[in-house]
Amino acid sequence: MTEKLVIIGNGMAPGRMLEHLLENAPDRYEVTIFNAEPRVNYDRIMLSPVLSGEKDYEQIIIHGDGWYIKNGITLYKGHKIVGIDRVAKTVTSDKGVMADYDKLVIATGSVPFILPVPGNNLAGVLSYRDLDDVNAMLLAAQSRSTAVVIGGGLLGLEAAAGLKERGMDVTVLHLMPTLMERQLDPAAGYMLQQELEQRGIKVITKASTKAILGDRKVEGVALADGRVIPATLVVMAAGIKPNAWLAAEAGLATNRGILVDDRMQTSDPDILALGECAEVGGHVYGLVAPLYEMARIAAARLAGEDGPGFVHNDTPTKLKVTGIDVFSLGDFADGEDRQEIVLRDAAAGVYKRLVLKENRIVGTVLYGETADGAWFNELKKKAIDISDMRDTLIFGQAYQGGSPLDPMAAVAALPDDAEICGCNGVCKGKIVAAIQSKKLTSLDDVRAHTKASASCGSCTGLVEQVLKLTLGDSYAPAAVQPMCSCTSLGHDDVRRLIKAKGLKSVYAVMQELEWKTSCGCAKCRPALNYYLVCDWPGEYTDDYQSRFINERVHANIQKDGTYSVVPRMWGGVTSAKELRAIADVVDKFQIPTVKVTGGQRIDMLGVRKEDLPAVWADLGKAGFVSGHAYAKGLRTVKTCVGSEWCRFGTQDSTALGIRIEKFMWGSWTPAKVKMAVSGCPRNCAEATCKDVGVVCVDSGFEIHFAGAAGLDIRGTEVLGLVKTEDEALEVIVALTQMYREQARYLERIYKWAKRVGTDEIRKQILADEERRRAFFDRFVYSQKFAQVDPWSERVSGLHKHEFRPLATVGLPQAAE
């Protein structure tokens, strides 16, 4: 008999618990979730990259709407539970929804500590715990004014770095003498302060906040020593406390948090608690690794399985600020029974300290060079006697025994139960087994199947070493290649920093990212121009001088110096009027060759460069626009005649192909994009070797992607089946926008899909309706500023597309 499981809270811990539960006992419970936030489950670890601009909300979603629907889970968004009736076994939300349960899981997380000082409720005073806080900070950051962050711990420093990246003048106030004093010793705290100040963030230590000043909104912060720090935004990041009030009101045993045993059971046998709200063995936790361990144990208990209970382990601390490497673990306080080993390299900005007790590591602090953190963690966890390697211990795993080892030998020396990914509790043996059994070949594959390095990412290098060790010479890592000789940065870093730093011109990019040349080159300028066009529609003006000659003149240069001109024929359909216009142009300009292309269009070859404006003028008068046969953009949508004419056709493939082409033409993409729509599985339009293809079937439209028929020959992957044309259009547009936002310049869809992972693309486009719609909406917005053919625009009055709600989208006209 199916039992009713109610979960209060929808954070990372209950989300991971459900993953385990669905795997181990998929049919045991009817699941209902109440989430106080008005959204789905997302990765809170990644809020700092969202604040800094390195990621957006859609990229940190863990479970989209489609996941809940697929698994039959009822999710109430924006419903805060205000009461638990343990006798009736019901919960009630602030919106009046009541649900009964057989088992209840409380995962209410934590609440920020707000300093009890005058002015703490003024407009402009924010905490930093969830996406709403981040959105409020992003709104405040648009002023480019002054921000004060109260608290120099992990969250405070991540908030300060993010606001600085957004252009604010930031000051950090910290009560203690050095930053992150709970995680770092004074030496590392000093180095961290120096690094932040070099980045333009002011840091004031020993700063006691007396009051927040202002009438109705924040104007400044007054310190106890009399100083006043001007501010238009104040972020409270002075700590958190377990959110246990609901459990206490229900009569459950609480202390700092909700008291649970090592199997996550509260004082009520039918109620479990986990996450930041739970207190187990006298500890409460805020880092993700122990929360995920709680999730695993709670899922096992709900599934009726026996197993080991929760055991406290020190969890490494890492700071998520780009370019600052910090690692700390354990107890590094001084003591008579302790010794320390210290390495300082001032020139390199490196500081390492190991604290020993009875020849065993009890504490580790690493600053500037943290690659050996996982190894030191393993030595500490297993209480390994380090006497034999004491002289070389501080130099890391590669120097065991006094001489450098091959890095692979160091990884090979790790036992199978060595923890590689602390966030997700993934050991070396699990990664190796997944690589071998599932034939994984890339970092993205390992992330998808094991979750190793999928959270904070600090273990990425170690995961890649395990890959190389397991695969040997067959492992081909995706090396970061500089865009060109003008910079040492790769495409991914450049694109991330353009967003993070709000760079909106080619010269701003070159200045802020320290280009080695004054104006770039023919490799980097087109890439930068594309990234800026895509990332800042409406704010950045397309620079035609940064484009290749073919894109500038709307024609393909040929080996004899002449050009070929390809007018657009929507879906390969033409008319007598269009054919006469082409014939007239061919005669008038004595064009020597006219050829039908593989994309169902007509190519006029041998046009002299000086004739191009006049050729396009005449074609424009006939209503033609450029076919973009030269472009890094949508080129063609090949179609068959479909159900209108063919006796095998199941859908009107021609009309759908025209609709897709007219909706999407004119927007730049990282590389050329070719599409096709076949009216039945006989596939006459060859949709299964295109970048994006549609195969019409009786039940709807099968969407394909990531095919190729050039130098690489590969069939498409099936994205999924949709029932209507509207859905097909939305899915194709969203897929294209995801590709536009994530691919590297000149990277074809099939290469991007292999790098990102087809499962991840399906997850974001098909399984997550909210994310898919966001991609679609961003494409629609960018199309308002899509570049049209300037010659055709002059001669025929071309206008931008008119976009309407999807259900009413027809065929946007190309010409008046």
Reduced to 3 states (helix: H, G, I; strand: E, B; else coil), residue 60 is helix
- The C-alpha atoms of residue 388 and residue 401 are separated, in whole angstroms, by 8
- The C-alpha atoms of residue 231 and residue 169 are separated, in whole angstroms, by 9
b/e per residue 15-44 (b: at least 16 CB within 10 A): bbbbbbbbeebeebbebbbbbbbebbbbbb
Calculate the CA dihedral of residues 315, 316, 317, 321 and round it to 10 degrees. Answer: -130
Cβ contact 124:141 at 8 Å: no
Cβ contact 675:692 at 8 Å: yes
The length of the chain, given as a count of residues: 816
DSSP conformational letter for 680? S
- The C-alpha atoms of residue 418 and residue 427 are separated, in whole angstroms, by 5
- The C-alpha atoms of residue 705 and residue 701 are separated, in whole angstroms, by 13
- The C-alpha atoms of residue 280 and residue 259 are separated, in whole angstroms, by 6
- The C-alpha atoms of residue 387 and residue 393 are separated, in whole angstroms, by 9
Residue with tokens 């199978």: 416
- The C-alpha atoms of residue 399 and residue 410 are separated, in whole angstroms, by 9
DSSP conformational letter for 55? S
Cβ-in-10-Å burial (0-12, 13-18, 19+) of 816 comes to exposed
In which region does residue 285 sit, left (phi positive, over 0), alpha (psi from -120 to 50) or beta (all else)? beta
- The C-alpha atoms of residue 233 and residue 138 are separated, in whole angstroms, by 11
Tokens representing residue 63 in the block: 């479970």
Helix axes 443-450, 460-471, angle to 10 degrees: 110
**Cα-based angle 593, 598, 602 (whole degrees, multiple of 5):** 40
- The C-alpha atoms of residue 191 and residue 188 are separated, in whole angstroms, by 5
Tokens representing residue 310 in the block: 């929760």
Cβ neighbour number for residue 113 with a 10 Å cutoff = 14
Residue 484 among known ligand-binding residues: no
**Cα-based angle 67, 70, 74 (whole degrees, multiple of 5):** 80
Tokens representing residue 552 in the block: 């500038």
Residue 519 among known ligand-binding residues: no
Cβ neighbour number for residue 246 with a 10 Å cutoff = 21
Residue 640 among known ligand-binding residues: yes
In Å, how far are 89, 238, 752, 811 from 758, measured between CA atoms?
A: 43, 41, 9, 30
Cβ neighbour number for residue 270 with a 10 Å cutoff = 12
Cβ contact 286:305 at 8 Å: no
Residue 684 among known ligand-binding residues: yes
Residue 754 φ then ψ, to 5°: -65, -40
Q: How far apart are the first and last CA of the chain?
A: 65
DSSP conformational letter for 271? E
- The C-alpha atoms of residue 421 and residue 45 are separated, in whole angstroms, by 14
- The C-alpha atoms of residue 32 and residue 87 are separated, in whole angstroms, by 19
Q: What are the residues facing 112 on neighbouring strands?
A: 240
DSSP conformational letter for 314? -
Residues 6+ apart with CB under 8 A from 610: none
Instruction: Give the 3-state secondary structure of 711-752.
Output: CCEECCEEEEEECCHHHHHHHHHHHHHHHHHHCCCCCCHHHH
Tokens representing residue 461 in the block: 């290098």
**Binding-site annotation: residue ranges for siroheme:** 684
**Binding-site annotation: residue ranges for [4Fe-4S] cluster:** 640, 646, 680, 684
**Binding-site annotation: residue ranges:** 640, 646, 680, 684
